[in-house]
Amino acid sequence: MGEAAKPGRGSESGFVIKPVYGPEDLSDDLPERLGGPGTYPYTRGVYSSMYTARPWTMRQYAGFGTAAESNARYHQLRAAGTTGLSVAFDLPTQMGYDSDAPLAQGEVGKVGVAIDSIEDMRVLFDRIPLNEVSTSMTINAPGSVLLLLYQLVAEEQGVDPAALTGTIQNDILKEYIARGTYIFPPKPSLRLVADTFAYCRAELPKWNTISISGYHMAEAGASPVQEVAFTLANGVDYVRAALAAGLKVDEFAPRLSFFFVARTTLLEEVAKFRAARRIWARLMREEFGATDPKSLMLRFHTQTAGVQLTAQQPEVNLIRVAVQALAAVMGGTQSLHTNAYDEAIALPNEKAARLALRTQQVLANETDLTATVDPFAGSYAVEAMTDDVESGARELMARVASYGSAVDAIEAGFQKREIEASAYRISQEIDRGERVVVGVNKYQTDTDDPYEPMPVDPTIEAAQAQRLARLRADRDQPAVTAALTALREAAAGTDNVLWPMKDALRARATVGEVCDALRETWGAYQPADSF
């Protein structure tokens, strides 16, 4: 007689993972819930051929110091075989401040690249043909500003804006929930997002206008179910904002994209991605009446879980990242960034960044993952777990909706409280040893091999300030002043703000000046629990 199965253990989301799954765990309407690859409700993937036609886009998130330093890293990554760029901006840029602003002191170039004006953007993409690369920019509150700078540089290269491909994150709602790099209050922020949708429909039709992000909520401690629920609830609010601005759903929905984390809990992560696609497809068809198949497709970028990387025994992170990347690929991601093993210590050095990219290349070229579509389809365990994630996410989305909208729930602090409770639970499990983290609470070593972190040049801040001083001395100041006045007038009224914003940036207004013009008109957001 075989050994009795042990009781199931809890998943990251809180449901029980059974030791053994069988036919009795599958829902009666499984064929309808699955569909085929590339068909509604897209459980099995948004495209019929998926990676059998071509692999996912391999991105590496990079940006540090000056635009020139980041440009050199982009050329290294392109030479190593990356197929898409992903830009990290420093904190002052993310908050809409110039490098010489008092609030920027000590932060310039530290967690990303400093971009103050069109001149920095020219350097950032020097000798990179923007009609040949897909670029993702992790920027939110000033996302439209950086997108317009990118477009202006592309036009200087002679590139038709209609040919540009890429994504701006532009997801301001999750900033109020989990990350904190907001500038304006929620309502004008949603207006700016809707204006960006309308602008890109006219000017950059291939650009993904938003990457609705669960990644940062997951990094703050959200469970997979919370990640899906809060991300899709935010997506609903963006759709409603665009509809309220007069856009039709099938005019903007095909350019919506999403951004999720991939954890080491491989099976639950695969189930999470499948459930998210299914929920979104049904929402867009049943609630918003979308008819274009592209409006129903949840297309997403994935980043491996930075929060799961450890400073202890950092080489072990190579294994973690490989498992996380495997989860993303088996879950059907459209693009993927793999973290470098040294990111828990410092900015990745060149070797670490190359190894992270090689992880994806091994999966794409040395395994059989690209030979067949959705290899987990029909798995008793994964299909049952997909149902569990879907059920949990729908229940949580209903709780968000009970507040009126995601914005209303944010203002009440609901999502933040739920994520903090999840983060506390995980922390307690690690402290008690119930959740093993190799090298941290089990399998420790007395010493780690020495590691030399990549330094950030301390002179960057002064150099950026000098560049800004030269810019302001050389430009046509009356033209800048007039353009910023036009921007304020548009922001105070109902006109789309991106066209006057582009005129101001073309006249060499800085990122900080443009954001200040909007701050003066819309105000700056102060959370209710601030002191």
Domains of the chain: 40-432 (3.20.20.240)
Q: Is 102 exposed, middle or buried (CB count within 10 Å of its CB: 0-12, 13-18, 19+)?
A: exposed
For residue 309, CA distances in Å to 91, 344, 351, 432 come to 22, 6, 17, 19
Would you tell me the crossing angle of helices 143-156 and 498-506 to the nearest 10 degrees? 50
How many whole angstroms separate alpha carbon 166 and alpha carbon 64?
Answer: 20
On whether the pTM is more than 0.75, the answer is yes
How far is the C-alpha of 274 from the C-alpha of 311, rounded, in Å?
A: 32
Mean pLDDT by 10 residues, the chain (531 residues): 58 93 91 92 97 93 87 92 90 97 94 96 97 94 98 97 96 94 95 96 95 96 98 97 94 95 98 98 98 98 96 95 98 96 88 94 97 96 97 98 96 94 93 92 81 74 96 98 98 98 98 98 82 33
- The confidence score (pLDDT) of residue 10 equals 83
Q: Which pLDDT score is estimated for 530? A: 42
Q: What is the pLDDT of residue 347?
A: 79
Residue pair 276/257 in contact by the 8 Å Cβ criterion: no
> Would you state the pLDDT for residue 1?
40
Strand segments (E) across 13-169: 16-17, 57-62, 84-88, 134-138, 165-168
pLDDT of 403:
97
Q: Look-up: residue for tokens 């085929």?
A: 36
State which amino acid sits at residue 451: Y
CA gap 126, 102 in Å, rounded: 29
Given this model, what pLDDT does residue 454 score? 66
Q: Enter the tokens of residue 91.
A: 């904190």
Contact indicator for 62, 90 with CB cutoff of 8 Å: no
